[in-house]
Structure 1
Amino acid sequence: MLTTAEKVDARRYCGYGMFGQQALPANGYRFSTAYGTLEYKLNNMLTEEEAVFRTVYLANLALLETDIPGVRENLDTDQAAVWTHNKNELRDRADLFSYYRREMCKFFGIPPGPGLGDGGGIRLVV
């Protein structure tokens, strides 16, 4: 059985907002089919699925998430001796983090939530 903290992280990493303890008006992402599917799966995982979720997704996503702010330590160095800073490090780390988040959504069988966006490309709203 997942802890409340693990469920909070799962929702957040999948791009869905807080569950909260109070009822909301019947609108928004919380009443979408995908959000309901995510909640159902979080509460009904097999033991083996929980193991995959914890070791492959939660552990790695936590590390990747903390790596992004860590980039600030290298922002002042452009070149030192033979070492040259990757000027795209922040973007690369953020992209890797988003990639793992999307992979976790695939594991759950749901589309990425509004907080994760559509994955790039052009989006037309008519």
Structure 2
Amino acid sequence: MLTDAQMTDVRRFMGYQLVGTTMPITGSQDLVYGRFGMVIMSLYARLTTLSASEESVLINTYLTNLYALETAIPAVSANLDTDQAAVWKHNARELADRDRLFDSWRRRMCGFIGFAPGPGLGNGGISLVRG
């Protein structure tokens, strides 16, 4: 069974907003629902009915890598003041590359769980807004 912290992280990595304490999330009451053939299921119900092997993959493959990728993004700031030192040359696209890799793993996790990415992650396409 996933811990509360892991459930929160899965929801967060999938791009869904926090729920706070104003609405208890249960198998029949959630903000996020997905369709599996003829069945409509809440994200909470999906995450609390995983098989042992599915839970293992979710934790050991997805959550573990996502924690590492997320932590590596702020670490990019350590190189912002140096463009080149001796033979080392700064990758000017490092932040964008890390963001893209992180979001790619987030989308893979959504696919594994069987739910669409949330509004905080989007579909990965480009959106044009006219103002």
TM-score by length of 1: 0.86
d(CA) in 2 for partners of 1:87 and 1:124?
27
| Partner amino acid, structure 1, of 2:33 | T
Q: Please tell me whether residue 93 in structure 1 is matched to residue 98 in structure 2.
A: yes
The runs of 5 or more residues in structure 2 that have no matched partner are: 25-29, 36-40
Residue 68 of structure 2, aligned match among 53, 63, 68: 63
Deviation of the 1:123 alpha carbon? 5.4
Larger strand proportion of the pair: 2
4+ long deviations beyond 6 Å: none
Pick aligned residue for 2:54 from 49, 52, 58: 49
Measure, in 2, the Cα distance between the counterparts of 1:68 and 1:109: 26
Count of paired positions = 120
Preserved contact between residue 37 and residue 110 of structure 1 (Cα < 8 Å): no
The alignment's TM-score, normalised by the length of structure 2, stands at: 0.83
Q: CA–CA distance in 1 between the matches of 2:110 and 2:128? A: 20
Match for residue 115 of structure 2? 110
% identical equivalent positions: 47
Aligned equivalent of 1:23? 23
User: Is the 8 Å Cα contact of residues 71 and 89 (structure 1) preserved in structure 2?
Assistant: yes
Gaps of 5+ in 1: 25-29
